[in-house]
Structure 1
């Protein structure tokens, strides 16, 4: 089985304890030499400043290629592009351009009166600068706000046509879900790489809530497995096996790159990567 390239998603810390956890995560996973790592925004752009600080620090101290999340939420076009400019000035040239979630307490996304109306508009503005490699999100299962999946795919094509180079999917639990989506994208004329997003299940209750929010189907066999594993105290072993099997099926189906949502808890992701043959690179020293 070929060894895939990998990338990892982190989120910015909100406390001193969170800072230690983030740096532990970076230090644990950096030896796997990821193609890139990304840092998220909180809902409603709540962690905009923290994201900028985390991106800049990881970029300066780790040598990793860092992709900064950038959204349309609660900011003018001028403010959003100024943030992008500050990333470019710091040497960060990868952006994950997203519409973003609505701020807490609001029912749905509403564009700022002077802001970008959608991720397509944001992508076009970033592409016009010529300074960024732009990545975008994709939904292998219907987005909760979409009419149907065909509408999702049509919107993804608009994002690629606006200047995005790569799409990263929301997490899913069956390889066939990704393969059906990939085939439908090709049929729709999308030729940009689509990277599957993998969520190792660190917290079963939290994963169920997250899946319900973003429209991700959890197969009954996984629900049954965690019911037994919770009683037996083997949830970590089961989570590793489920994620490894999913990744193995994807690689067998031709996937060359996997993107892991780490939740700033690196051990499970590291163990899955090791099982796939993604291990720390050994650097031989010249002793002559």
Structure 2
């Protein structure tokens, strides 16, 4: 089923979550173990991230460290197919701009269509970790809206090359990302929402947000989107704090704010176990308030950890 239909048909707030493909050399059983822990809470769909290549330094035959491009987490499409087949739960693989050209993107979408996977999340992907800038591959897309347009074209039967008279249209439901605290590279919130509306007009059916730790940010974001004419569902995304270092890691990596009340409590924690417990309690309160407001779903970023998400889901859903 398409995610937009799942959201629109829901009579209560749904539970969904995101997974990372296992690191190269690991097996799928770790992913199945994570899903098994979260199955009792009836996930409506499962997102699976997609990852571009990274530059790492490895010794050559002379022992000299040289830069090598590697993909640490390949396998998104295969993992999506395995999960949907094993659990009969709709999956939402991410499709990204970074590291892929338009033809590779089309091939990935065709593979997903063959496999009966008809939901995707279209995102640009991260900037280069060294330069801090995003540069597309030659022939690739610079912005997520270009991905949305390519998928929308496929849904109309428009492929990159005209190889037959009546090519089969695909049937993808497209999700896109929204940023309650604005995208780190946007000059201001108004500009950010302007371009988010463009993605919806290009064919996106729903929005899922970046993590946030203050629900007022989400409610204000939704209000601004509605005033701008964005009418599609906006699913809040939550990431529970699980280690003390998240106080510095999350603001630096994801450009999000942590409320001072939460900061003060985290600073009192002497161990990561205490920090994780506090993170769960904070996320439970966030989730309960969001649920009482009538959101269609709450989406959780697991980062490969299921135990804390299971405790939150048990308390909320």
Task: Name 2:39's counterpart in structure 1.
Answer: 30
The whole-number CA distance in structure 2 between the counterparts of 1:121 and 1:214 is 23
Q: Deviations over 1:58-85 (max 9, x none)?
A: 1221211000000111221111111111
Assess if the C-alpha contact under 8 Å between 2:244 and 2:269 holds in 1: no
Which of these two proteins has the greater Rg computed from alpha carbons?
Answer: 2
Give ranges in structure 2 of 5+ residues lacking alignment. Answer: 1-10, 55-70, 156-170
Q: Is the 8 A contact 1:44 1:100 kept in 2?
A: no
- Pair 1:60-2:100 in alignment: no
Structure 1 length as normaliser, TM-score? 0.89
* RMSD (Å) for aligned C-alpha atoms: 2.0
Over residues 92-128 of structure 1, what are the superposed CA-to-partner deviations in whole Å (9 max), with x where a residue is unaligned?
1110001111344342111222112311111011012
1:174-253 → structure 2 map (5 Å cutoff): 174-206=214-246, 208-230=248-270, 234-253=274-293
Query: Which of 42, 51, 58 is the aligned partner of 1:42?
Result: 51
1:145-181 deviations in whole A, cap 9, x for unaligned? 1100111111110110110001000000011110000
**1:233–1:137 Cα change, 3 Å:** closer
Correspondence 1:72 to 2:81: no
Give yes or no for contact 1:7–1:34 (8 Å, CA) kept in 2: yes
Matches for 1:96-175 after TM superposition, within 5 Å: 96-130=121-155, 131-175=171-215
Which of structure 1's runs of 4+ aligned residues deviate more than 6 A?
none
Q: Is the 8 A contact 1:39 1:68 kept in 2?
A: yes
> Structure 1, unaligned stretches of length 5 or more?
279-288
SS in 2 for 1:151: helix
Higher fraction of helix: 1
Paired with 2:31 and 2:311, the residues of 1 have a C-alpha distance of 18
For 2:131 and 2:83, locate their aligned partners in 1 and report how far apart those are by CA, in whole Å: 32
